[in-house]
Amino acid sequence: MPQILVEGLAKSYRVAERAPGLGGAVRGLFRRRWREVKALVDLSFSLEAGELLAFIGPNGAGKSTTVKILSGILRPTSGRVEVGGLVPYEDRLRHVARIGVVFGQRSQLWWDLPVLDGFDLLADIYRVPPDRYRARRDELVAMLRLEPLLAQPVRQLSLGQRMRAEFAAALLHDPEVLFLDEPTIGLDAPAKLAVREFVKRLNRERGVTVLLTTHDMHDVEALAERVIVIGQGRLLADSSLDALRAGVFAERRLWVDFTEEAPALDIPGVQVRARTGRSLELAFDPAKIPAAQLIASIAAAHAVEDIHVDEPAIEEVIARFYDLHDSSEA
Amino acid sequence: MNALRLYFRYVGASIRAQAQYPAATLLLTMGHIGATAIEILGVFALFHRFGEIKGWTFGEVALFYALINITFSLADLLTRGFDVFGTDFVRTGAFDRVLLRPRSATLQLIGHEIRLSRLGRLLQGLAVLAVATRLAPIEWDAAAVAIAVWAVTGGVALFAGILVLQATLAFWTVESLEVVNVLTYGGVQAAQYPLDIYAGWFRRVLTFGIPLACVAYYPVLAILKRPDPLGAPDWLLPLTPLAGFAFLALSFVAWRAGMARYASTGS
Amino acid sequence: MSAALRPYAAAFRARFLLMLQYRVAALAGFATQCWWGAIKIMVYAAFYESAGAAAPISLPNIVTYTWLGQAFLALLPWLADPEVGASIRTGGVGYDRLRPIDAYGYWYARTLGWIAARALPRAVLMLLAAGVVLPLVGLEAWAWQPPAGPEAVALFVPAFVLMILLAVAVLMLANVVVAASLNERGVNAILMPTVVVFSGSLVPLDFFPDAMRPFLHLQPLAGLVDIPFRIYFADLRGAAALQGLALQAGWIVVLVALGRVAMARMMRHLEMQGG
C-alpha cells in the first residue's frame, strides 16, 4: 500500500465575475456570472514510503492546489486521495498530526516569541509527550545547528536562520510525510545548500517521505530521484530526472574557448548555439558524433585553450518540455 | 493535553510576546482606558446637566454601563482571532496554517492573541461598577451576584457570536467587515442606557434581533429589583441571558457552513 | 493656477481620487454613523423629555448638531495620517526631502486630500439620509435641519473651511510626532480621546460643568466641532460668531507655525541620522 495515493484528482473553482465600477458591484449583489476555473483536471500518482518526489510546473499548473488537497486544507471536486490510509479532508485533525508542512513564504513560528517558546507551544499543540519532545527537539537542534538561535525572537532571525527553525518546527511531532512548498525561495546560496543537505539526510537516514514543490531546478537536481511535471492540471511526466532529460534532449553541449577569435565551424551534426569573442557553445547529438571524436577534430584544426562537455541546464529541459508539450497539444 | 490547558499556554505565549514591547503595550492600555473613559465622561456630563433620564439616576445607568463594558471587554479578550479573521487569516492565507494543525480552528483562533491593552476597558468597567454600587440602591446579595455573573457570561456568548458571524462573513468577502462594529461597539453604546428610553422599533431590534437587552437590560432590572416598565414578567428577567448562548450556537452553525465553503474554494 | 502651487494641488488631487475608490468602506462607515447618530439622538431625546429646561441647546438643534457631527466625523483629526507612518517605515520620507518643495506644505496638501476624500462621500450620504429621507418619511422632528438663515450660511461657510484647515493643522502636528517617535499607535491612542472630548464631538461643550466653559471655549479644538456647528444653527451669531471664526483662524496660525518648527527640527534630525 503506497504512502500517498492520488487517483483521478480533479478540482475546479467557480469564480464570480464582476463587471467593473459601482454599477457592476451592485448588479453583482443580485445576479452573478460565474466562470469555472479548472485547477486540476485529472491527476493520478502514488508515492511509496521513503520516496522523495519533486513536483514541478509553471505557476497555475495546479501544484499548490495538489499540496493543499494532500494536506487536508482543500476538498477535491472528484477523485480519491489517501495519505497513510487516511483521506486528508475527511479526517483532517488525525491526518495533520501525522504530516509536517514547510511553506517557504509563510512562517509557522510566533513572530515575537523566542524560537524555543514556539517549539514548546507546538509540542503542546501536537500533544507530543514531554520526554519524546525533548529528545526530538535536541536532535533537531543539533542537526540544524539551532542552539545559538533558541533564545532569539523569530523576528530577529535572518531568512536562512528562520528556515532552519521552520524545519525543526515542522518535524517536532515526528511526521511520516513532509510537504515542502518552495522551501528555498529567497534564500542565499549557503542557506539553500544547508536546506538541501538537511532534507536529503532526513529522507535517507530517517525514511521520511518528502514531497517538494519548487521553482528552483537546483533543488530538483540536488534532491529528487523522481520528478512529476504537471501543466494545466494534468500529469505531463512522472519519471527520474535523467529520463526526463533524455526524453526531451538527445543533444549535449560543448563549450570551447579558443586562443584567438572563435572560428566558423562547419561540422555535420553540430550546431553553433552561441558565439562570444573567443568562445563557442556547440550542441551535438552523441549518437551521430561521439564527444571524443568531436573534441579531437576541433583540437586538430584550431588552437584550443579550454573545453568542456555538459548537459543542458534543467531550466532549459523543462522549458523545452513545455514547448514540446504545447506544440503537440496544438 | 486538553483544550483548556492549551488555551492557557496560548495566553502565556501571547503575554510574553507583548512583554517584548512594554512601552507600546502600556501606551495602548492607557489609550484604551482613555477611549473608554470618555464615554462615561459623556454620560456623566449629561446627568450633570439634566439630573435624570426618564426616572433613572446616574448610579443606575452606571450599573448598565459597567456590566455591558465588562461583558464586552471579556468577549473582546476572548475572540480576537475571530475579530481579525478576515484581515489577518483569510486575506493573508494564515488560515491554511491553522488548518494544518491538529486542533480545532476555534481553539486556535480564540488563543490567537490576548491583548493586554483590552484590560483597559475591563478596568474602567470595574471602576464604574464600584461607583454604581456607591450611588445606586444595589444590594449585592448572592442572588444579585449570581445574576450579574450569569448576565456577563451570556453577554460574552452574545458578543462572541457576533464576532463569529463577522468572521464567517470573511469566508465570502473580506471587504469592509468593520460594519459589524455597529453591533459590537454600537451594541455596547446602546446597552449602556436602559432599554425603555429608546423608541419601540429599536427596543424590538435589541430584544429579538441582536438580543443585547437580554444580557444587559433585563438582568440588570433583576439586580436592581425593579419591575420592567415595559411589562416583562419578573420571573423572566433572570432567564433572558440564555438568548446569548442561543445566538452563539446559531453563529457556529453559520461558521461551519463557512468552513465547508473554505475547504471547497480555498479562499 | 499659479505654477508655485501646482505640486501641492497635485498631491491633494492624487490622494483625494485614490481615497474615493474606497466606496464600500465609505458605505460601511456611513451605516455605522447612522446607527451611532440614532442612538445619540434617542438618548438626548430621553434626557430632554426628563428635564429639557436644563439644556443649553434646544432639542431640534441638538438633533442637527448630532447629524452634523456624524456627517463630518471623518474630518476630526483623531488619527495620524497612516501614509506618514508607512512612509517612515519604508524610507519614503527620504524621497520627500529630495523634492524641490516645501515639505510641510506638501504633507499638508496630501493629508488634506486624505481627510477630505474620507469625509465628503459620507457627509453627502448622511445629508441625504438625515436631511432629505427623514423628513420625507414623516420623521421631521429627528431630521437634520437646514441652516438657521442667510446670515448663518454666510458665517458657516468660512467656519467650515477653517474647521477643515484646523483639523489638518492638528493632524500635521500628530504626523510630525509620529515621524519623530515612530509610534503611530501611541500617538493615536492619546489623540483620539482628546479630540473627541475637547472638540465637542462627545457632547456640546456647554453640556460640561459651567465652571469649565471659559477654558473649553478658548482651547483650539473647539474650532473643530463646537464653533462651526453652533454657527450653523445660529446659536453663535453676530459678534460671537465672528469671535469664533477669529479663534479658529488664530489657532490655525499658531498650530501651523508650531508644526513647521517641529517638522523642520525633525527633518534636521533625520538628516543627521542619515534618514
Query: What total number of domains does chain B contain?
Result: 1
In this structure, are A149 and A232 located in the same domain?
Answer: yes
Min Cα–Cα distance to chain A from C193, Å? 29
- Site of grid cell 551521430: A288
- pLDDT recorded at residue A322: 79
**Starting at the edge strand that comes first in sequence, how are the strands of the sheet with A33-47 ordered?**
A78-83, A4-17, A33-47, A234-240, A226-231, A52-56, A209-213, A177-181, A99-103
- pLDDT recorded at residue C22: 62
- What residue numbers bound the domain in which C91 lies? 3-273
Pairwise CA distance, residues C187 & B27, whole Å = 9
Phi/psi at A80 (nearest 5 deg)? -125, 135
Instruction: List chain B residues with CB under 8 Å of C188.
Output: 31
Burial of B196 by CB count in 10 Å (0-12 exposed, 13-18 middle, 19+ buried)? middle
* 3-state SS, residue A284: strand
In this structure, are A129 and A265 located in the same domain?
Answer: no
Q: Which residues of A57-80 are buried (b: 16+ CB within 10 A; e: fewer)?
A: beeebbbbbbbbbbbbbbbbeebe
C-alpha cell at C140: 421631521
In this structure, are A90 and A155 located in the same domain?
Answer: yes
- pLDDT recorded at residue C15: 72
* 3-state SS, residue A104: coil
Instruction: List chain A residues with CB under 8 Å of C23.
Output: 22, 25
Among the candidates A246, A266, A292, a domain finishes at A246
Pairwise CA distance, residues B38 & C190, whole Å = 12
Q: Which of A88, A94, A102 shows the shortest CA–CA distance to A185? A: A102
Pairwise CA distance, residues A289 & A280, whole Å = 18
| Section B218-239 average pLDDT | 90
Q: Which of B32, B22, B117 shows the shortest CA–CA distance to C189? A: B32
Q: What is the DSSP letter of B116?
A: G
Least confident range from B90-94, C14-18, C89-93: namely C89-93
| Section B122-147 average pLDDT | 94
| Section C208-229 average pLDDT | 94
Residue A327 included in any domain? no
Contact assessment for residue B218 and residue B164, using Cβ atoms and an 8 Å cutoff: no
In this structure, are A72 and A197 located in the same domain?
Answer: yes
- What residue numbers bound the domain in which B228 lies? 3-265
Does any CB of chain C come closer than 8 Å to the CB of residue B227?
no
Query: What total number of domains does chain C contain?
Result: 1
**A237-246 residue pLDDT tens:** 898 888 887 7
In this structure, are A157 and A42 located in the same domain?
Answer: yes
C-alpha cell at B167: 468572521
Query: What total number of domains does chain A contain?
Result: 2
Q: Is residue B242 predicted with pLDDT exceeding 70?
A: yes
**B96-109 residue pLDDT tens:** 999 999 999 999 99
Task: Return the residue in B25, B96, B112 with the most chain A beta carbons within 10 A, the one to mutate for interface testing.
Answer: B96
The pLDDT-based confidence of C275 (bands split at 50, 70, 90) is very low
CB contact under 8 A, C50 and B193: no
The pLDDT-based confidence of B181 (bands split at 50, 70, 90) is confident
- pLDDT recorded at residue A330: 46
Chain A residues contacting C, CB < 8 Å? Answer: 22, 25
Task: Give the Cα-Cα-Cα angle A310, A314, A318 (nearest 5 degrees).
Answer: 135
- What residue numbers bound the domain in which A170 lies? 4-246
Task: Give the Cα-Cα-Cα angle C161, C167, C168 (nearest 5 degrees).
Answer: 95
Q: Count H helices, E strands: chain C?
A: 12, 0
Bigger pLDDT: C54 vs A42: A42
Neighbour subunits, C (≥3 Cβ pairs < 8 A): A, B
- Which H helix or E strand runs over A181? strand A177-181
Q: Which of B50, B46, B58 shows the shortest CA–CA distance to C53? A: B50
Task: Return the residue in A77, A93, A112 with the most chain B beta carbons within 10 A, the one to mutate for interface testing.
Answer: A112
C-alpha cell at A57: 510546473
Does any CB of chain A come closer than 8 Å to the CB of residue B96?
yes
In this structure, are A170 and A289 located in the same domain?
Answer: no
Instruction: List chain A residues with CB under 8 Å of B101.
Output: 96, 125-126
Question: Which residues of chain A register pLDDT less than 70?
Answer: 16-33, 249, 327-330
Q: Is residue B231 predicted with pLDDT exceeding 90?
A: no
